[in-house]
Structure 1
Amino acid sequence: MSTLTLDPARKTSEEGPQNGRGSWPAAPRLSGTAWLVWRQHRAAFWTIIAFTLLAVTAMVILRGQTMDYLRTLEPTQKRPGGMPPEFDTYGNLIAEVGGYLSYFPVLAGVLLGAPFIAGDLETGTAKLVTSQSVSRLRWLTMKLAMPAALVALSTGVLGAVFNWWWSPVKGFVTQVEWTSGGIFDVTGPMAVAYSLLTFAVGVAVGLLLRRTLVSMVVTLGIVVAIGFVWDELRSRLGHIVSASTDKGVGPGAKQPELPDMAVQQGQGTYFLTSSGDRLDWTTCLDKMDDGKAHTACLESKHVVGWTKEYLPIEQMATMQWLGAGIMLTATAAIVAFIVVWGRKRLL
């Protein structure tokens, strides 16, 4: 059965543009399982659409204000670390909005995914629907496809608009690093992949537990756990780069400078030896009170300079696609489980 059909209720109009048969073109409308899924969950769908439109409108307005402020500055002021203090207001806004958007995957899993099938199993709707001419596979497919498409569209639009706002000023925003969830997870392919993963997790939990409230609580715990794991994994997707000096560490020696927007990794600055080994910054810390003793201690360990490890922002896109690939692969595996389990043990 097609999900789009012509509306027979449309009447021939006597005025306005007409088709070749003298009647208005019929408007497509949903029918069958597509209509049922939309009808069941239209409140949630309209909420997502309304939230997306409001968020996009707000970000467009805020970007306009940010760009208007930048146009008032002199070219010499537009440099990293040299922006006037007034720009902090706009940097804080970007950081706050990015932080809010990073909660979308939680909402997609807990409020949309978990109750989506669990609610039908709990109320008996699933049994009623599948006892008719609708197969379990067809019902499951539509229950997954329609909300997943809406989640992907919503997060894709939000991520694109936020990136449009952040990109022109990313070199000036010091309130948030690009490796944080408020930037990395809400732009590019990550915005879509993360929300689809949590949505699939919520649906799978609801399918197994078959109780709405319990499914939502369990999904929240799993999504939070995924967030903790992802925070640890995110930076490991990139290739760490080192910047070093070999002019000594005594008075007047300068530590290595990092490129703009580079995110320092590890414990900070390490001592570098002549053999290329790294020593922790606590090396000879017990002799810090005596400058000569401290210098002698470092020289005895053949320290010739400092080294720092960092991730350059040029790796951001590659890291995002790699992370999105991991999440989409996990999502595909979960969806396959949902389909196989649902066809055999749905009711």
Structure 2
Amino acid sequence: MSTLTHDPAARTAPDGSPRNGRGSRQIGPRLSGTAWLVWRQHRAAFWTIIVGTVLGVAVMIILRGQMMDYLGTLEPPQKKPGSTPPDFEKYGDLMTDIGGYLSYFPVLAGVLLGAPLIAGDLESGTAKLVTSQSVSRLRWLTMKLAMPAALVALSTGVLSAVFNWWWSPVKGLVTQAEWSSSAIFDVTGLMPVAYALLTFTLGVAVGLLLRRTLVSMVVTLGIVVAIGFVWGELRSSLGHVMSVSTDKGVGPGAKQPELPDMAIQQGQGTYFVTGSGDRLDWTTCLDKIDNDKAHTACLESKGVVGWSMDYLPFEQMGTMQWLGTGIMLAITAAVVVFIVAWGRKRLL
């Protein structure tokens, strides 16, 4: 008899509810077969994710309520975007701190859940036992991937939705972190879901290849950290950089260009722009910076008529997140295909 089958009478109470091995009612989802096995194997990790998600949601709801109560006591002029109301810094700090903590979820998904998922079964011999029964390798691999992946996606999606609900009323007031930072960009929208699924599947692939739990976790950690570094450098390049310029000169009293609300400056800073539209580096005439008149005369001799600044407008955030989500999900799909193909042929 397959070790995954069971006697319905032994597993159910008189009312049909599942029982555990001691005859008491089962705590958790009512599952059977491979799904029941996967849940039993990883129920500690699954319950940790569920409880952590509930606690995270509760904390954010409480903090948002406190923040909204504070904002309700302010006069309308004090809520103007781009200006920080008195004593609002502590709420902004809490928000960016929570966002920073949530940005580590992909690391945990890859290292603590993905890497040991199959590596542990290969190391202990559970995979050989299960696949020697009536369960096919494809069915086992599918359930091993699908159940934790669904839980990861659901948890990150819920946390993202609640964090976005908290952040949305004060987008222009929170100045502690730019919207393109990991504490905001990577924990709102669908980005955290795609990011966590990517690191989770990469962890599973590493475990499948290395077949040792601890080694797989260490290697996965290195890969996830590398992905975080690359993603941090790539994130801003997903947007379309725009420019704003002036043409009223650069002498004393001339104003530099102003960026739109919540825009993020790009590049090296402020450039000099000439009448022909060319841009000069900020080091132009730097040797005469100590003398305003000499510096201005030097710039005018090069045809400089004003300044220019590059920026990313806040309106592009959604588009950038969708693009980043698509890239990560495409890579995730490729990794899943590899896991299934490799596992069906070389699992044992």
Question: Could you state the TM-score of these two structures normalised by the residue count of structure 2?
Answer: 0.93
Please say which of residues 80-89 and 259-268 is displaced more in the overlay.
80-89
Amino acid of the structure 2 residue aligned with 1:259: P
Matched, 1:11 2:6: no
Residues 225-240 of structure 1 aligned to structure 2 (within 5 Å) = 225-240=226-241
C-alpha contact (below 8 Å) 1:121/1:211 kept by paired residues: yes
Report the CA distance between 1:313 and its aligned residue: 0.8
CA distance in 1, matches of 2:297, 2:258: 25
Matched, 1:124 2:97: no
Matched, 1:186 2:187: yes
Amino acid of the structure 1 residue aligned with 2:65: G
Identity, % of aligned positions: 79
User: How has the CA–CA distance of structure 1 residues 208 and 314 changed in structure 2, closer, same or farther, with 3 Å as cutoff?
Assistant: same
User: How has the CA–CA distance of structure 1 residues 252 and 28 changed in structure 2, closer, same or farther, with 3 Å as cutoff?
Assistant: closer
What SS class does the counterpart of residue 87 from structure 2 fall into?
A: helix
CA distance in 2, matches of 1:239, 1:330: 23
What SS class does the counterpart of residue 182 from structure 1 fall into?
A: coil
CA distance in 2, matches of 1:126, 1:10: 30
User: How has the CA–CA distance of structure 1 residues 6 and 131 changed in structure 2, closer, same or farther, with 3 Å as cutoff?
Assistant: closer
C-alpha contact (below 8 Å) 1:6/1:28 kept by paired residues: no
Report the CA distance between 1:10 and its aligned residue: 4.3
What stretches of structure 2 of length at least 5 have no aligned partner?
17-27
CA distance in 1, matches of 2:286, 2:296: 11
CA distance in 2, matches of 1:162, 1:325: 21
Matched, 1:208 2:209: yes
User: How has the CA–CA distance of structure 1 residues 264 and 6 changed in structure 2, closer, same or farther, with 3 Å as cutoff?
Assistant: farther
CA distance in 2, matches of 1:103, 1:331: 18
Please say which of residues 292-301 and 44-53 is displaced more in the overlay.
292-301
C-alpha contact (below 8 Å) 1:185/1:191 kept by paired residues: yes
Matched, 1:106 2:113: no
Report the CA distance between 1:90 and its aligned residue: 0.3
Report the CA distance between 1:206 and its aligned residue: 0.2
CA distance in 2, matches of 1:83, 1:197: 36
Amino acid of the structure 2 residue aligned with 1:261: M
Q: Deviations over 1:104-139 (max 9, x none)?
A: 000000000000000000000000000000000000
CA distance in 1, matches of 2:282, 2:123: 58
CA distance in 1, matches of 2:294, 2:170: 46
Report the CA distance between 1:300 and its aligned residue: 1.4
CA distance in 2, matches of 1:116, 1:12: 34
C-alpha contact (below 8 Å) 1:194/1:324 kept by paired residues: yes
Would you say how many aligned residue pairs link Structure 1 and Structure 2?
332
Report the CA distance between 1:7 and its aligned residue: 6.8
Residues 1-347 of structure 1 aligned to structure 2 (within 5 Å) = 9-11=12-14, 29-347=30-348
Q: Which residue of 2 aligns with 1:20?
A: none
What SS class does the counterpart of residue 268 from structure 2 fall into?
A: strand
CA distance in 2, matches of 1:12, 1:240: 64
C-alpha contact (below 8 Å) 1:91/1:174 kept by paired residues: yes
User: How has the CA–CA distance of structure 1 residues 6 and 93 changed in structure 2, closer, same or farther, with 3 Å as cutoff?
Assistant: farther
CA distance in 2, matches of 1:7, 1:192: 37
- After TM superposition, the runs of 4+ consecutive aligned structure 1 residues lying more than 2 A away are 5-13, 80-85
Report the CA distance between 1:280 and its aligned residue: 1.1
CA distance in 2, matches of 1:154, 1:6: 33
CA distance in 2, matches of 1:228, 1:151: 22
CA distance in 2, matches of 1:197, 1:78: 38
CA distance in 2, matches of 1:83, 1:194: 31
C-alpha contact (below 8 Å) 1:284/1:297 kept by paired residues: yes
C-alpha contact (below 8 Å) 2:194/2:328 kept by paired residues: yes
Q: Deviations over 1:270-317 (max 9, x none)?
A: 111111111111111111112222111101111110111111111111
What SS class does the counterpart of residue 329 from structure 1 fall into?
A: helix
User: How has the CA–CA distance of structure 1 residues 279 and 32 changed in structure 2, closer, same or farther, with 3 Å as cutoff?
Assistant: same
C-alpha contact (below 8 Å) 1:244/1:308 kept by paired residues: yes
Question: Could you state the TM-score of these two structures normalised by the residue count of structure 1?
Answer: 0.93
User: How has the CA–CA distance of structure 1 residues 296 and 40 changed in structure 2, closer, same or farther, with 3 Å as cutoff?
Assistant: same
Amino acid of the structure 1 residue aligned with 2:191: M
C-alpha contact (below 8 Å) 2:82/2:261 kept by paired residues: no
CA RMSD of aligned residues (A): 1.8
